[in-house]
Structures are given as C-alpha cells and as structure tokens.
Amino acid sequence: MKTREKNARAKLIEAAYKVLAEKGYENCSIKDIAREAGVSPGLVHYYFANKEELLAAVVKEATDAYCREMEHMRATVAGDRLADAALAEPLKRTREHADWYKLRYELYVLALRNPTIRSGVKELFTKGREGIEGTVQAVAGKPLSNGAELSAILFACFEGLALQALIDPDFDLEGAYRVLGQMAKQFVQTKSEGK
C-alpha cells in the first residue's frame, strides 16, 4: 500500500475511533465518519466495505498500539517492577480510555453474529493473550508451563473488570486489581520456583 493510501486509511480509522466513541456503533454512520475525516463517504467505502469492517479496523489499530506499548514496557521496565507496571496499565486504560473498551465490547457483540468479524476478534484475542504471556514470561524470567492458560485468565479478568467498571461506577476496580495482582504474582512465583 502506498504512503498516501496508508495515510488516508489511518485518517479514516482515527476519525472512526472518535465518532464511534462519541456516538456508539448503532448511532453513527459512514457519513458521520466521513465528515469527521473531511472526506466523502465514497472514500470511506473505498477503504472499508461497511461500518463493521471499519469498527474492526479501529479496534485492531488500538490493539496493535497497545501491544507496542506493552512490548516497550517489557523492554524498558526493570524486572522487579514489571508485574506492577503491567497490571497498572489496564487499570489506567479502563479509567482514562473507557471508549477503547466500549468499542471492543461492541465488536464482541457483532462477532457473535457475524463470522467475518468473528475471525478478526479471534485474532484480537490471540494477540492479547500472547502479549500478556510475553509479559508473564518476562516477570517469571522464563517460560511457564501454564503461561498460556494464565494469560487467557488474565485477559478475561482485564476485560471483565473493565466491563464491570463501565457498568457500575461504584465498582471497586482498584481493589479488584489489587487482589488480581496478588493472585497472579503468587502463581508466577510458585511456577518460577518449580512447584
């Protein structure tokens, strides 16, 4: 893909993120996204077949950016501080970027009914689990025999805790993360010691 096309596509994804976050999937249109991007609706359709495909691209881009941030964290944060930093990140994202989670949940619902979107969500899940597993291995200092399973559980916890916080403003998200951190650290320590 040429640079100009990449830039146009990226501009549309950025506009879609903003409009989808403000209005939600059901209440936004391709025209709204085109208006935000300063282009014609036809250009949106040139890059994306429909709104579902655009939503999937928005979530994929946000997920890829998150994975890059986590890779950077693993490379720059000292091992003894990595577990706390890695747990602080989804907590912070839930508090400061709730729209990111809202878009993900809308995509999940669509994936239950649409096989095309389902494959994209499956990839999103796979990347999420792999990123968490890389962090778990870095914290443990070695691959763990149950690292994939722990990563799947942590991924589900992060998603579920964010959903609870979005639905219930009184939910003690920080307390839940404290307990989750204690459980995860204990598991990794036990596995690292070979128990």
Ordered by start, the domain boundaries in the chain are: 1-48, 51-192
d(CA 153, CA 147): 10
> What number does CATH give the domain 1-48?
1.10.10.60
Mean pLDDT of 138-148: 88
Q: Kindly give the interhelix angle for 173-192 and 79-96, rounded to the nearest 10 degrees.
A: 150
CA 76 to chain centre: 21
CB 141 within 8 A of CB 79: yes
CB 61 within 8 A of CB 13: yes
pLDDT band at 29 (very low <50, low <70, confident <90, very high): very high
128, 162, 163, 166: which is closest to 148 by C-alpha? 128
**What are 41-94's pLDDT values in tens digits?**
999 999 998 888 888 888 888 888 888 888 899 899 987 898 899 999 999 999
pLDDT at residue 194, rounded to an integer: 64
157 versus 187: the higher-pLDDT residue is 157
- Cα distances (angstroms) measured from residue 186 to each of 140, 179, 180, 181, 195: 11, 11, 10, 8, 11
**What are 85-135's pLDDT values in tens digits?**
999 999 999 999 888 888 889 889 888 988 878 888 888 899 999 999 999
Instruction: Give the percent of the chain with pLDDT over 90.
Output: 44
pLDDT at residue 44, rounded to an integer: 92
pLDDT at residue 99, rounded to an integer: 85
pLDDT band at 195 (very low <50, low <70, confident <90, very high): low
* CATH class entry, domain 51-192: mainly alpha
pLDDT at residue 23, rounded to an integer: 87
137, 151, 143, 127: which is closest to 82 by C-alpha? 137
Checking if the pLDDT of 178 tops 90, the result is yes
